[in-house]
Chain A
């Protein structure tokens, strides 16, 4: 396994900011992905990091530290529709290489 760890559940209120952490241990690291999955739906791509630093995309940002094996997904100005499972996935080797997923973090946003 690739030892990808993320919290099981998180809660937050509308308008707030939430940070979902992901730690990993792997060889041949070649990128980290965040996906959002609403219940009964397909995982949808949110962000990708392969170099250290912050990638910002609207209300969502993702950070990577390769030396620490650590990433986080930051969600700002939370909305009810952001209630979903957030999946951290690490890619190994070539770009055809498989993705290794964490168990997902179930985020609930309260009014």
Chain B
């Protein structure tokens, strides 16, 4: 248990659906991240939020829309996805008080787009 939770753990959706992924941490961390992990590919950063402000968008298609209402919660809104978007979506938060400024990951949402 890293203290970062994600819901749902599994999601199957059609290409015309709209769904949202949720990430929550109560560790007092101020930076939160969305990553995508596809089979046989490296973990890929999608978005970075620092103190609720988006500081990085790694050229992510607009069908992925992040939202960070406060420093404990992060959402990823999904609409009109493609089958190639099927992947494990991981949320992470950053511990600035650690020597390493370590990122801690949630368990992920396994997304399947039909």
In the complex, the answer to whether B104 meets A101 with C-beta atoms within 8 Å is no
- B contact residues around A33 at 8 Å (CB): 100, 102-103
B41 to chain A, nearest CB (A): 7
- A contact residues around B107 at 8 Å (CB): 40-42
- Complex interface bits, A40-70 against B, C-beta within 8 A gives 1, otherwise 0: 1111110010100000000000000000000
Q: Tell me the complex Cα distance, A31–B104, Å.
A: 16
In the complex, the answer to whether A99 meets B42 with C-beta atoms within 8 Å is no
Q: At the interface, yes or no: A18 with Cβ under 8 Å from chain B?
A: no
Are A42 and B105 CB-contacts (below 8 A) given A96-B31, A98-B58? yes
- Complex interface bits, B42-79 against A, C-beta within 8 A gives 1, otherwise 0: 11110010100001101000000000000000000000
Q: At the interface, yes or no: B90 with Cβ under 8 Å from chain A?
A: yes
Q: Tell me the complex Cα distance, A44–B106, Å.
A: 9
- A contact residues around B17 at 8 Å (CB): none
In the complex, the answer to whether B43 meets A48 with C-beta atoms within 8 Å is no
Q: At the interface, yes or no: A4 with Cβ under 8 Å from chain B?
A: yes
- B contact residues around A99 at 8 Å (CB): 43, 45, 103
Q: At the interface, yes or no: A11 with Cβ under 8 Å from chain B?
A: no
Q: Tell me the complex Cα distance, A98–B36, Å.
A: 13
- B contact residues around A101 at 8 Å (CB): 42-44
In the complex, the answer to whether A103 meets B4 with C-beta atoms within 8 Å is no
B residues near A, CB below 8 A? 2, 4, 31, 40-45, 48, 50, 55-56, 58, 90, 94, 96, 99-108, 110
Using A44-B2, A50-B100, A103-B41 as known contacts, list a sample of 17 further A-B pairs with CB atoms less than 8 Å apart, ordered by residue number in A.
A35-B105, A40-B107, A41-B107, A42-B106, A43-B43, A43-B90, A45-B104, A48-B99, A87-B43, A95-B96, A96-B48, A96-B50, A96-B94, A98-B45, A99-B103, A101-B44, A102-B42
A residues near B, CB below 8 A? 4, 31, 33, 35, 40-45, 48, 50, 87, 89, 95-96, 98-104
